[in-house]
Amino acid sequence: MVITKIYQPDQVDQAADELKKGELIAFPTETVYGLGADATNEQAVKRVYLAKGRPSDNPLIVTVSSVKMVEKYAIEISPAAHKLIKHFWPGPLTLIFKIKPESLPKAVTGGLKTAAFRMPANTVTRKLIELAGVPIVGPSANSSGKPSPTTAAHVFHDLEGRIAGIVDDGSTKVGVESTIIDLSTKVPTVLRPGAVTAEELENFLQEPVISDHHQVGAQEVPKAPGMKYKHYAPDAQVLMVKEALWPAALQWAAEQSEKIGVMAPTTVIKTGLPANCLPYDLGETIQTASHRLFAGLRNFDDQQKVNWILTAAYPETGLGTAYMNRLRKSSGNVFFTKNNPGN
């Protein structure tokens, strides 16, 4: 069994040395913690799939420390792409480009002629990549399908003994993964919503941007993570609760003979919950709710074991689109209803 070491930010050079040896290192970003391996080392990348239990046809994001790294692999970076890079990088935006033939291993691309690139805002991770001298793959550092990790402790819980180390830079700030926009198509297409919204991208580019949130078919290779397989799901059944249905949802919870997890806005928590309800405060805004979503789901997965989690639904606009994208997947798209709770 591998001993998983915790590296502090001032020990990032040691973590980079491990990456150079083909080892796996989890790293912090402003969104969630990622699981890094040398993106040019196919055997190291394959070990990422094994460590996570991730399907091998699910492509990986290539995490970089400079635009120069992207230029080494991308066939062309269009004027629109350069504009996005200048404004949004480093930050929570991932860009998909057509890449030079065989410039990256099939284990990274899923066999596609494209790859997704991101430059995170976290300076520690950019230093890690710079010291390693190569781009690194960066899927979320969790067991595949489970809620994404927003602290080093979450990573350690899922991957202890399976990876060489974790660079601990505290809790992440955004809490949901980056927006992914496909620039290999005629019309820019958002394949995964995040903190950078489709409306924001459209206004910035001054051209149409498609929002494509579909799940791909069984025989189709996804161009981005999160489009094919179950994601973000705790062991418990999550029930999404619309604002107007909180009284009915809490009444239903009170009638149960077991503990019920409640992830709700501060206003709901303050109204007082039934004695058998375990509260997790999502704060007062969609920003705090998005930041706390995965940590809350993990709380009821790892610490306070329950079979049901009532979780606040939000309007699907702005950041709410990204929040609900993750929540719909973690719940299997199940809403609480008065007549048929859990259906």
Is residue 47 annotated as involved in ligand binding?
no
| Cα-based angle 81, 87, 88 (whole degrees, multiple of 5) | 85
Is residue 31 annotated as involved in ligand binding?
yes
**Spatial distance between the Cα atoms of 118 and 100, rounded to a whole number of angstroms:** 17
Is residue 171 annotated as involved in ligand binding?
no
Is residue 140 annotated as involved in ligand binding?
yes
Is residue 148 annotated as involved in ligand binding?
yes
DSSP state of 243: G
**Spatial distance between the Cα atoms of 56 and 206, rounded to a whole number of angstroms:** 37
Is residue 162 annotated as involved in ligand binding?
no
- Tally of CA atoms within 13 A in the half-sphere of 291 that contains its CB: 14
Q: How far apart are the first and last CA of the chain?
A: 42
Is residue 78 annotated as involved in ligand binding?
no
Is residue 54 annotated as involved in ligand binding?
yes
> How far lies 159's CA from each of 1, 51, 296, 298, 326, in Å?
11, 7, 19, 14, 21
Is residue 118 annotated as involved in ligand binding?
yes
Q: Which long-range contacts (CB under 8 A, 24 or more apart) does 194-202 make?
A: 194/31, 194/92, 194/93, 194/322, 195/31, 195/92, 195/290, 195/319, 195/322, 196/88, 196/91, 196/92, 196/93, 197/318, 197/319, 197/321, 197/322, 198/321, 199/318, 201/84
Is residue 114 annotated as involved in ligand binding?
yes
Binding-site sequence positions: 31, 54, 58, 114, 118, 140, 148, 178, 192, 232
Extract the annotated binding site for ATP: 54, 58, 114, 118, 140, 148, 192, 232
Annotated binding site for L-threonine: 31, 178
